[in-house]
Structure 1
Amino acid sequence: MSSASWQARITCGRETGAGFLVTERHVLTCAHVVARSGSAEVRVFFAREEHALPAKVVAHGGWDGHDNASGDVAVLELDRSVPLEPARFAAPSDAYGDARRRLVAYGFPKGYEEGTLAEYRATADQLIAGEWVQLEAWAGYGQPLAPGFSGAAVTLADSGRVVGMVSSAARDPGIRNGRMLPAHIMARYWPRLGELIPTPEYGRAEKERLRELVLARAPEFDGRPECSPERLYSDAVGPFGPPLPRERFRSLWDAAWYLLSEVPDTGAVARFAARLADFTEDAQTRGALRSWPSRAYDRRPRPPVDPAGPPAAGSPPWSPILVEIAPSGAGDHQFLVEVSAYNGRHRRVVGSRVLPADRVRAYALERIDEAYRELEPGARELIAFVLPRRWLNTDVAHWQRSTDDDSPLGAFAPLVVMDLERRRSGGLQHKLLQKWQRLDGQPTARLHRIGCGSLGQDPVRLTIGLRRGAEMVGFASPPRAEATRRLFRAGLNAAVPVMLWPRGGCRDEHRGEAREDCAGEAFLDRLAAHLADLPPSELPTHIHELRETAYADDGPEPHWAYDLALLWEDPRCLPDPVGYLHSPVG
């Protein structure tokens, strides 16, 4: 304690209290010590400084003058830097333990202008009113807490590191107890303090960066319930994590700091940052939040890469970017859009938002572009849209890739669609796995055709027949008319891994009767010829190349594959992810 030159005596009008230096120019004290700073000069005395230093209050915890009011914290800024080493802090838990820790406070009660020491201990680590820890005297004798100790640093006797600040003492001199504001509670009122307090895994620079990012974007989140501090906290800790604290969070930073300092799961605050990123409009800030602290996810052990079945010779496994669009339950025109990136079995959610239908496309495209940052440099991308059944014919392959690129998304990368209902069915996923096991032993698969002349067949019989032996089904027309939709549903329920169709097609003008000039039958002829020698596991790549050819074709008539849709699903490349519980919305 003799070397603790950062201890200070503070005067403001008739009030005398204590404080302690935390940066070269900033001193912490109680707000009630400097309550008259608007009309009286604040002066700070250090033992090694010859003269008192003027100071001004630059931050305030919101204390309203009542004895039990919260926020009794003030930050003073000196008029110049001082050549003294600031106080050093202990971890929030260091003040407690089965073996009580002896705590020391250095105050300036009446008659002790040079200061005196008081020895105390924390009664328990339980917060009173979510704010204070009770102190009780270390022994039944010695200096009690008294006026003049307010604002004094509470330090560990063996190391001199700060664990809190004295905020009050018992009014009855016969009761030798008082209250301490723990250091991590003070950091709620002055966010910069959090950088100085040790927390598991994250260092000063990382916390400083997070603070800057959160506070810079905080105004745009005001009044938005979907990104309230409580909502983001719950998303970060998950359904089985620590419950919300009794006291409401005052700000987004308050929630972030609570995760840093009081939640054992050190990954929760990274998930908080990633979830906050999803609501940030500025792309640069969004990327910085999502990648904070750049190595948080790298420190977690990742499971070995589990390829999507035996790839073609020389082909790496797929690294899908999954775009799941599902009804949100918040109304007929509200959808939950979730975009994720896979590396093997590791999944990282890069965006999840409930949106009206007219905002789905822009949001999905923006997050798809950002999802590429999560892929390894040599990854073979696959954009996979999981859509409600009624949306499976949506022209996602024709979506303009970005506001700066008019080319279709389907020309940018291999793109497939999947059925939402089927992806959520355990039975159908199991059947799909069985189908792919059979396909692994086959170099190619035969295309089962459902032409316009087949639209009258019984859907139940078709489901049973396709379940027995079909791995690829081609439709002559899109699933628009009721007859086609019934047969399309039969293919999905039969766990057919590959389904193809023209988004336009003949539209059943001839009511299911076979005709020689049927555009749908011509489409199936061309499709069967193109797929004749291709392995189903590599179809996304081959269809991508076919789309590139079709989009670039400048013939007088559209290329036969211009509107080709591909439903392709191999559960092995989109497994139930091991890392999903570590995602922002896990």
Structure 2
Amino acid sequence: MESLRQMHEAAIVQICKADGKIIGVGFAVTERHVLTCAHVVNAALSRKKEDKAQPDGDVTVVFPFLNGNATAKIVYWKPPQSALIREEDIAGLELAAPISHSKPVQLGCFRKEGPKFTAFGYPADRPKDTGVWADGEIKDRVSPGWVQIEGTSSQGRRVEQGFSGTAVWNQAKSTVLGMVVAEYTQDEAVKVAYMIPSEILKNAIAYLQLRAILTLTDADWQIYLEPFRACRPSDWSNSNPFPQTLDELLRQLQDMSPEHQAGNSNLGRLPEFIARLILEPSLSEQQRDKLRHWGEANYPNFQELRESVKKPQSVQETKTSQPYLIFEVRPSQVPGLYNTRAFFISNLEKLDLKNYQGIEQVPATTADAACSSDDLPVHLVSYIQVCQEEYGVGENLTIAVFLPLELIHLDVDRWRAPGDFGDDMIPGSQFKLLIRSQERITQYKRRHTEQWSQRWQRLQQSLEQVACQCLAVAKSGEPTPQLNARLIAENAVGFKLEEVPQESAKKGFFVGLLGTAAPVAIWLRCAPKGTENDAVESILDYLQPVLNCSLKRIPSDVLTRRATAVAKAPEPNEQDFHIGYHISLLWEDPNLMPPPEYTYRTQ
């Protein structure tokens, strides 16, 4: 059976400089995470101990009793605010790889478990790699964030420089009661030092335990975004850029004032985020169980919190305005030229197409004449600018672009035109942008209205289901009867294309697609470089992460991928294929259409 000392040793970590010099100590809190002091990390990276900015460099860590070492990045950072305000001096490190047989610690409370402690450190006067144990008693608080500890024997070492960041262990148990943060330096004969108590450390450890649960594949990242958006206060995006990494997302959640005040407010809206994330249908059951356990361990009445985020969300969705911009492109009487017009809908919930209420035509700022397809981006951006000026639309605008079949395969989401300050606006990376078929509202609508409405209703009933399970696989050359058969056989509401539509088959495929009355389809406009001989498998593999979420989130997730691609590079790089440059989404709502042209001519 493992001894108490062996359990302590399996968690002890040396924090070192790049040359191997030991600066301080840390201790394992998960299989891949270590807790230590922020000033120890600063010293290990040759920075001033009091530096507040989070370092970028990796830290060298060694498990001396396990003969293991690794590099670690800083993922949690709470430095002391000043020499006088030192409630926090905590850093969390994430190992590049777990160390075999390491033993994450369990927290205890010195008030409940008694005052006797033991700690392990590396005083400067000891030979290299040789540490010492120091024993003593825990006294009481001396400041909001520090507790006094002291040696009670005339023999043995005191807690001194070289112990910073080490765990303060209960002598009789395997629990950690605090972390050494400083020594008393006025008189070396006095064996006094200070620790950060476990009740303060628990927030940092909860954060690191959550990081250990949240994996970060491309599909996982998309799952996290909708719960994050639901947690944001209404004015949050005004002063905080949308997170691009898991670290940024978790830090923002922790900084948000909790809407539900009960429980641990120092975790911000992390508990609410977890309560919402558990509801995601594409989450694995194993992850769901781990997150539920984390919530119950770190937030009182977590079950009540889970229930409270279900009901307000649906109420809020019905009250939130859903502005739309309809951009319609029609062939003109001159071959190769097109007429455009646009309509603004302030709230889709209040739209009445029969009586033409809740919709108004957007005045054109460009010349009201037919244009080539190359000029369509300028027309679209000009309409968006009018909506921003006249209606005050923000990032929640959705743009529906109605295109004739000959243009439906265009890279509309990459259209760009000069914005207000000289820089280009790229609407597809700023707003949800959906492709619509112009033919559906002319000759097609008269013959397929009922079937289209029925399939749209089925889509609405399937919104909470995982998208990849709702879409049938299709090939670009399949005719309408075969596509219809796929929809029925797979009980699907739309299509995911397993290949890039070829130039010769583009129009034929989209005609076939319209014949099925399917309201949704998703495809790539080009294949990843080097996949020509294995295009079917490769394209479906690229689409799978996009579809590994609920059906209702597809437009938002496609926007996120487009924005991520543009943030990485304004123009696509063939050597570094990013799906956000090449994805098209057809999303046909039969209740959202421009009025007939004669209606507005008459008015």
Q: TM-score per shorter chain, which class?
A: 0.3 to 0.5
Query: Which structure would you say has the larger Rg?
Result: 1
Higher helix share: 2
Q: Quick one: higher RCO (CA 8 Å, sep 6+), 1 or 2? A: 1
